[in-house]
Amino acid sequence: MKIFSLENSFKRYWDLFIFILATYCSIDIPFWILFPYPQTGFFFFFEIFISIAFFVDLIFNFRTSYFKNEILITDPLSIAKNYLFSWFLLDLLSVIPLELFIEYGIIPKSLMFICIFRFLRIIKLTDGVLFKRTWGMHEFDSTSFMRLGFLVYWITIFAHWTACGWIVIDGGVGGVSNPDTVTRYIRAIYWSVTTLTTIGYGDITPVSNAQTIYTMCIMLVGAGAYGYLVANIATILANSDIVRTQFVDKIQKINTFMKYKKLPSDMQKNILDYYDYIWKNRKGYDENQILRELPPSLRMKVSIYLNSDLVRKVPILKNASDDLISKIIVNLVPVVYMKGDFIFRKGDTGHNLYFISKGQVEILAEDGITSYGILNEGNFFGEIALIMDTPRTASIRAMDYCDLYYLDKDTFMSIILHYPEFAAHIDKLIKERETHNKSFSFKKTDSKTEVPLRKNRKPKSL
Ligand code: CMP
């Protein structure tokens, strides 16, 4: 028989099935001890069925790998040893159909309580670490949800057990004369819920010493569990949209700062517009910070995936080799410019090459009025100053919100050195752009004139 991994999908559902059977036992057995009903017909066969299922589970457990100090142990001998010294005895006892043994007089009725062995395995099945491993969850995956789920499960089971305990010491009367079984149970569960949640209406109160002590114990457990439950719900609600909450928090701080510094209202509006754009387009995430924390190999894969859209938009990258694409993409840094912002001005020293992911920029001559043209999505600019080692030959101004990615000069120059074909493309393009601009100085044109690299007008050389 093969060794099951914890995440084996058959084993997962098998564990779930066993969990349901164990839960049934944990509810049924205390009830049966209080109000014994005949274990005949369906109940007889169902008890046998549970025993068979628990037995099969016992066999499976000898063939299920486990983790020791974060190392997966798959050696059958180690698995068997680990199981024999942990849950084996309890699992073996739960295989015995104890209710039937009591029903048919094999075990005396006075030993009825040993039937609890039948369901103690739920402790193992609700082990959070094991549960996460089985369902392939990571350490912080929905931790609060899982904790809350188990807590609600345990409080429900515990409420049932304490209700059964109350029936034993209260005699099940709970202020009702001649109650039937259902009424006795409902009254007891009502007492148990009101005591566990520390609401305690006081309509069912302890009279004897035993009842008083029992009530106090349940209250102590209940106060702790109830507090834990409320805290978990609060955590879930607080975390439900943590990114938004953090972003709103940041905006509130900025707002307070702007008011404190008495920034002009249109400046305040611009700042808030910018954050609005950042939220709508990036949901407040700092892509670069997330990438920086990843190991290099993973960072490369994630960057390529995240920027696949940009690669598709930029003609010069579309036909480039994978190696070149990854060299560029891994070094790209996102940056946003607002309408009217100068990305740089003519005569500035060039530090970066820019790719346009979203938006449009205008290329302006020195006078700031003459437009050489417009560049939009998929185009790039800023290569002339880097390659020629000259000041910027034109100013670039954002025409609306612009999502750009920039590549620093050193990286760009090393790419130019190592990829001659790419360098040749760029060289050709520079010549085209320079020629275009020169012709411009002779004929003043409308500012919306198109230039060789406009979208959908891929130069033949690229
Ligand atoms: P650089 O000189 O570094 O800075 C200004 C940039 O504008 C320049 O590099 C080019 O990338 C870009 N540019 C200048 N003229 C044109 C043009 N005619 N068409 C497209 N881009 C241009």
Contact criterion met (CB below 8 Å) for 131 and 146: yes
Whether residue 399 lies inside any domain: the answer is yes
Q: Quick one: 10 and 116 in the same domain?
A: yes
**Which one, of 280, 315, 294, 283, lies nearest residue 305 by Cα?**
294
Q: For ligand 1, pick from 364, 393, 447, 457 the residue to mutate: most ligand atoms within 8 Å of CB.
A: 393
Whether residue 105 lies inside any domain: the answer is yes
Q: Quick one: 308 and 247 in the same domain?
A: no
CB environment 175-206: b (16+ within 10 A), e (fewer): eeeebeeeebbebbbbbbbbbbbeeeeeebeb
Is the CB of 382 within 6 Å of ligand 1? yes
pLDDT digits (tens, 9 = 90+) for 43-68: 999 999 999 999 999 999 999 988 88
Whether residue 253 lies inside any domain: the answer is yes
Residue 108: pLDDT over 80? yes
Looking at residue 172, what is its pLDDT?
55
Q: Quick one: 15 and 126 in the same domain?
A: yes
pLDDT digits (tens, 9 = 90+) for 401-428: 999 999 999 999 999 999 998 899 899 9
This prediction has a pTM of 0.63
Q: Quick one: 322 and 273 in the same domain?
A: no
Contacts for 153-158 with beta carbons within 8 Å, 24 or more apart?
153/126, 154/126, 154/225, 155/196, 155/225, 155/229, 157/23, 157/26, 157/27, 157/122, 158/196, 158/221, 158/225
Q: Quick one: 275 and 372 in the same domain?
A: no
Residue 458: pLDDT over 70? no
pLDDT digits (tens, 9 = 90+) for 342-370: 999 999 999 999 999 999 999 998 888 88
What CA–CA distances, in Å, run from 327 to 302, 331, 419? 13, 7, 11
Last residue of a domain, which of 83, 116, 137?
137
Q: Quick one: 399 and 279 in the same domain?
A: no
CA distance 376 to 462: 16
Give the domain CATH number at 275: 1.10.287.630
Contact criterion met (CB below 8 Å) for 346 and 395: yes
Whether residue 457 lies inside any domain: the answer is no
SS3 of residue 60 by DSSP: helix
Is the CB of 394 within 6 Å of ligand 1? yes
What CA–CA distances, in Å, run from 222 to 134, 151, 164, 234, 432? 30, 12, 16, 18, 79
pLDDT digits (tens, 9 = 90+) for 210-219: 999 999 999 9
Q: Quick one: 270 and 356 in the same domain?
A: no
Residue 373: pLDDT over 60? yes
What residue numbers bound the domain in which 250 lies? Answer: 243-285
pLDDT digits (tens, 9 = 90+) for 173-183: 555 666 788 88
Instruction: Tell me, letter by letter, the H, E, C secondary structure of 36-51.
Output: CCCCCCHHHHHHHHHH
Residue 160 pLDDT level (bands cut at 50, 70, 90): very high
Higher pLDDT, 36 or 173: 36
Looking at residue 459, what is its pLDDT?
33
Whether residue 394 lies inside any domain: the answer is yes
Looking at residue 398, what is its pLDDT?
95
Last residue of a domain, which of 103, 137, 171?
137
Is the CB of 402 within 6 Å of ligand 1? no
pLDDT digits (tens, 9 = 90+) for 225-244: 888 888 888 888 877 778 88
Is the CB of 455 within 6 Å of ligand 1? no
Distance 391 CA to ligand 1 centre (A): 11
Residue nearest to atom 17 of ligand 1 (CA): 433
Q: What is the overall mean pLDDT for the chain?
A: 86
Is the CB of 433 within 6 Å of ligand 1? yes
Nearest atom, ligand 1, residue 437 CA: 18
Contact criterion met (CB below 8 Å) for 325 and 311: yes
Q: Quick one: 270 and 334 in the same domain?
A: no
**Average pLDDT of 265-288?**
86
Whether residue 133 lies inside any domain: the answer is yes
Looking at residue 141, what is its pLDDT?
66
Q: Quick one: 272 and 346 in the same domain?
A: no
Distance 331 CA to ligand 1 centre (A): 21
Q: Quick one: 8 and 123 in the same domain?
A: yes
What domain count does the chain have?
3
Whether residue 178 lies inside any domain: the answer is no
Give the domain CATH number at 305: 2.60.120.10
Distance 404 CA to ligand 1 centre (A): 15
Count of other CB atoms within 10 angstroms of residue 164: 22
Nearest atom, ligand 1, residue 393 CA: 2
Is the CB of 379 within 6 Å of ligand 1? no
Looking at residue 156, what is its pLDDT?
93
Q: Quick one: 306 and 264 in the same domain?
A: no
Looking at residue 413, what is its pLDDT?
94
CA distance 161 to 149: 19
Last residue of a domain, which of 285, 308, 340?
285
Looking at residue 139, what is its pLDDT?
67
Count of other CB atoms within 10 angstroms of residue 426: 23
Whether residue 167 lies inside any domain: the answer is no
Distance 442 CA to ligand 1 centre (A): 18
Looking at residue 456, what is its pLDDT?
35
pLDDT digits (tens, 9 = 90+) for 137-153: 766 666 777 888 888 89
Is the CB of 359 within 6 Å of ligand 1? no
Structure tokens at 114: 């040993």
pLDDT digits (tens, 9 = 90+) for 307-322: 888 888 888 877 788 8
Q: Which of 76-80, 261-265, 455-459 has the lowest mean pLDDT?
A: 455-459
Distance 280 CA to ligand 1 centre (A): 30
Looking at residue 243, what is its pLDDT?
82
Structure tokens at 136: 């392939």
Q: Quick one: 277 and 404 in the same domain?
A: no
Residue 374: pLDDT over 50? yes
CA distance 60 to 437: 77
Is the CB of 380 within 6 Å of ligand 1? no
